Structure 1
Amino acid sequence: MGFYAKFPAATAPTLGSEAFFVYSVVVGMKIPWQTALAGVFVAAIIFMLITVFKLREMIINAIPEDLKRAIAAGIGLFITFIGLHGGGLIVANKSTVVGLGSFNVGTTWLTIFGIIIISILMIRKVPGGIFIGMLATALLGLVTGLIPMPTRIISTPPSIKPTFLVALNHIGAINSVQMWTVVLTFLLVTFFDTTGTLVGLAEQAGLMVDNKIPRVGKALMSDSTAMLGGSLLGVSPVGVYVESSAGIAVGGRTGLMAVVAGVCFLLSMFFSPLLGVVTTQVTAPALIIVGVLMAQSLQNIDWQKLEVAIPAFLIVIGMPLTYSISDGIAFGFIMYPITMLAAKRGKEVSPIMYALAVVFVIFLWILNVN
């Protein structure tokens, strides 16, 4: 992603695909994890093919500008919600779905401290304000005992032998309608999660040129290759990480950001005990502030035209409330052709957007069945 596409984004197994892999496929459908990995491999092959034939690039270019802005803002609200929940400020509530967290918990105040520090540093335009704020929050947590001191600095990375190339040995197990449904779901979830994230990050970074992402084909190929390589190493579908927005927020605009992130993650395998001090309460303030920055895309959406405002709003609100980028996109993309037809502007909608509306209906049905 850094050297080839020169795009400021890190790739890794996404949380949504990990959850589907573990809880829906392995636990819920009782499919052996080795077979599920084979499903990821097959989905990755299909993923690469549709990338080579530029289908993904065509889809990205066909998304209206207002909806791209909505995707960026929606991702902003999504990562803010992740931060609020991870920091303990928002918690699950049986009566109201979500509710305010407890202020009798020290780690919640640690999150609040981080938000205040990062906010002040960002307002004062201090270079590296987000990183400095995270460091200050971690140090306060260690001093107060809210974050345990690491017992070691260095550790040996675990062996990949148990999962390495396991997917290739179980491809023959993909021989049922159920397994092909799993493959299709892996493909669709990863397709729209990463597509939406790429669009949101490009919008945040100001990289859009004439409603298109420069070098998007290379970025998509990098993403597809990462998913294929990940399946061979033994992980759930790899995609563009939404947390890349934190790097963009502090000035990342080139592939150097992705390269540095990759090198740091390689090193982190040996320093994982030390990095254990970077808890969710340390990262939560950064996500919340980055969400504020990404939400600025809302100001450029044409809210005066309901045929655009309704699907845009559904995308923005759908992402945090469904805890899924792809589900939020689905809501807006299904509604967009309907509202445009109602406004007698159906001819302005590209055939691809009509096709996507149908695909998303099928996509949501498949998820519901699973």
Structure 2
Amino acid sequence: MFERLFKLSEHNTSVRTELVAGLTTFLTMSYIIFVNPDILSTTGMDRDAIFVATCIAAALGSAVMALVANWPIGMAPGMGLNAFFAFTVVAALGFTWQQALGAVFISGLIFVFLTVTGVRSWLIEGIPHSLRSAIATGIGLFLGIIALKNAGIVVDNPATLVGLGDLKATGPLLAIFGFFVIAVLDALKVRGAILIGILAVTVLSWITGVSEFRGIVSMPPSIVPTFLQLDIVGALHGGLIHVILVFVLVEVFDATGTLIGVAKRANLIQEGKRSRLGRALLADSTAIVAGSLIGTSSTTAYVESASGVQAGGRTGLTALVIAILFLASLFISPLAGSVPTYATAPALLYVAGLMMRELTEVDWDDLTEAAPAAITALAMPFTYSIANGLAFGFISYVVLKVFTGKWSVIHPATQIVATLFVVRFAFFAE
């Protein structure tokens, strides 16, 4: 059956290798079942329901990737997109989480349309490489300031906006310890380093009384508080139009880059040969729609899938194993509810650091490339908005290219996106 479904021999792999690869990828990305509820629950959403939605969305997305695309790539609610959902759309802009889910749903439908029609590929080709790198970097910086704030390491300071927290307090000390655990284990190539770090800090927080141990295994909580609670009509509010645009842009860059990068590492994309990239793109776009209906932010392909590829994963059987393991995770909701913010903050901070390495891809010798990239990355944490970072980056890129006589290199896709952001600032002010 596995041979017929996944063509194992054609990909020079075996059931055992695929099982190990699936377990490896799951261990490296399973931190999301703890982090996603921690972030999205700040909007007023039910934490237990988010936990269930996270597991189901990850299982559905990974299963679709397995059975439709036959690629060894895990799917789950994306880091960065969940922060945009919670801290920008709901906290900063003041929309309800139901409207935010509606925006995710609409962005998913647009994403499916862009994929099916081929516009997605045109957009990817048209966006400057420097801005793509800056977007990833900026999201990393945004996650970093959120992590430091959640850990109590960065605090509000009326005189300087931000300041250093009390590093002698238990919470910040636990967060610092957790970061070092994750970094050291990952440097030593220990599988599941992020998950181990989260669990280590969680156990210490129980011992020190920072958080309460609620058990490990139980029947899954109810998903009713978030299931089909999206407000699609409310999401069509004028002020949410630019939010939908940002969701689409980040989904396009993040998911496509991850899919192509991991697939190349697995030798699934070769020059002159047909690949299943189109099916993989369709799988990840439909997963966004499904996730919004269940009650979570945008689902996307995980770069951690590279760890499973490194372990030998080459087919959708790897992704199917990931899906099954996420379903099994539904039964550890008490453990997920016992994880404090101080345990997930180091994971956020570490992921933020990894995302910042994209800065090396920027052409720093060309100021018309470097300046927009820097503005994009800096604006995200300092305006506490991924949307603003994208807007400043695209607009400044077009302006600098035009006034330095390089207007001919501006791709129509970049012009369209920049124009849409100008319209947003002119007519849809926050």
Asked whether 1:73 is paired with 2:73, we answer: no
User: Could you give the per-residue CA deviations for residues 312-355 of structure 1, whole angstroms, max 9, x where no partner exists?
Assistant: 10121122223333332221111111112233221111121111
For 2:94 and 2:282, locate their aligned partners in 1 and report how far apart those are by CA, in whole Å: 28
Asked whether 1:11 is paired with 2:71, we answer: no
- 2:334 maps to 273
For 2:259 and 2:390, locate their aligned partners in 1 and report how far apart those are by CA, in whole Å: 16
Query: Normalising by structure 1, what TM-score?
Result: 0.77
For 2:169 and 2:392, locate their aligned partners in 1 and report how far apart those are by CA, in whole Å: 36
Where in structure 2 are the equivalents of 1:119-158 lying within 5 Å?
119-151=183-215, 153-158=217-222
Q: Is the 8 A contact 2:110 2:248 kept in 1?
A: no
For 1:134 and 1:250, locate their aligned partners in 2 and report how far apart those are by CA, in whole Å: 19
For 2:82 and 2:187, locate their aligned partners in 1 and report how far apart those are by CA, in whole Å: 31
Where in structure 2 are the equivalents of 1:23-102 lying within 5 Å?
24-26=94-96, 44-102=108-166
Measured at CA, do residues 237 and 138 of structure 1 come closer, stay the same or move farther in structure 2, by a change above 3 Å? closer
- 1:240 maps to 300
- 1:222 maps to 283
For 2:256 and 2:211, locate their aligned partners in 1 and report how far apart those are by CA, in whole Å: 36
Gap regions ≥5 residues in structure 2: 1-60
Alignment partner of 2:247 out of 187, 190, 209: 190
Gap regions ≥5 residues in structure 1: 28-32
Shift of 1:101: 1.9
Q: Which moved more, 1:351-360 or 1:116-125?
A: 116-125
Shift of 1:47: 4.1
SS in 2 for 1:368: coil
Q: Which moved more, 1:6-15 or 1:307-316?
A: 6-15
Asked whether 1:309 is paired with 2:370, we answer: yes
Measured at CA, do residues 332 and 94 of structure 1 come closer, stay the same or move farther in structure 2, by a change above 3 Å? same
Where in structure 2 are the equivalents of 1:171-186 lying within 5 Å?
179=236, 181=238, 184-185=241-242
Shift of 1:359: 1.3
Shift of 1:120: 2.5
For 2:139 and 2:392, locate their aligned partners in 1 and report how far apart those are by CA, in whole Å: 14
For 1:181 and 1:98, locate their aligned partners in 2 and report how far apart those are by CA, in whole Å: 32
RMSD between aligned residues:
3.7
For 2:395 and 2:105, locate their aligned partners in 1 and report how far apart those are by CA, in whole Å: 29
- 1:294 maps to 355
For 2:353 and 2:243, locate their aligned partners in 1 and report how far apart those are by CA, in whole Å: 30
For 2:277 and 2:426, locate their aligned partners in 1 and report how far apart those are by CA, in whole Å: 29
For 1:75 and 1:248, locate their aligned partners in 2 and report how far apart those are by CA, in whole Å: 20
Number of residue pairs aligned between Structure 1 and Structure 2? 349
Q: Identity across aligned pairs (percent)?
A: 34
Shift of 1:158: 0.8
Q: Is the 8 A contact 1:68 1:200 kept in 2?
A: no
For 2:385 and 2:318, locate their aligned partners in 1 and report how far apart those are by CA, in whole Å: 25
For 2:195 and 2:217, locate their aligned partners in 1 and report how far apart those are by CA, in whole Å: 21
For 1:251 and 1:272, locate their aligned partners in 2 and report how far apart those are by CA, in whole Å: 25
Q: Which moved more, 1:300-309 or 1:142-151?
A: 142-151
For 1:37 and 1:127, locate their aligned partners in 2 and report how far apart those are by CA, in whole Å: 33
Q: Is the 8 A contact 2:238 2:428 kept in 1?
A: no
SS in 1 for 2:156: strand
SS in 2 for 1:66: helix
For 2:117 and 2:247, locate their aligned partners in 1 and report how far apart those are by CA, in whole Å: 17
Q: Is the 8 A contact 1:18 1:236 kept in 2?
A: no
For 1:339 and 1:215, locate their aligned partners in 2 and report how far apart those are by CA, in whole Å: 38
For 1:337 and 1:77, locate their aligned partners in 2 and report how far apart those are by CA, in whole Å: 24
Measured at CA, do residues 198 and 328 of structure 1 come closer, stay the same or move farther in structure 2, by a change above 3 Å? farther
Shift of 1:143: 2.3
Q: Is the 8 A contact 1:40 1:186 kept in 2?
A: no
- 1:30 maps to none
Q: Which moved more, 1:178-187 or 1:108-117?
A: 178-187
Shift of 1:289: 2.3
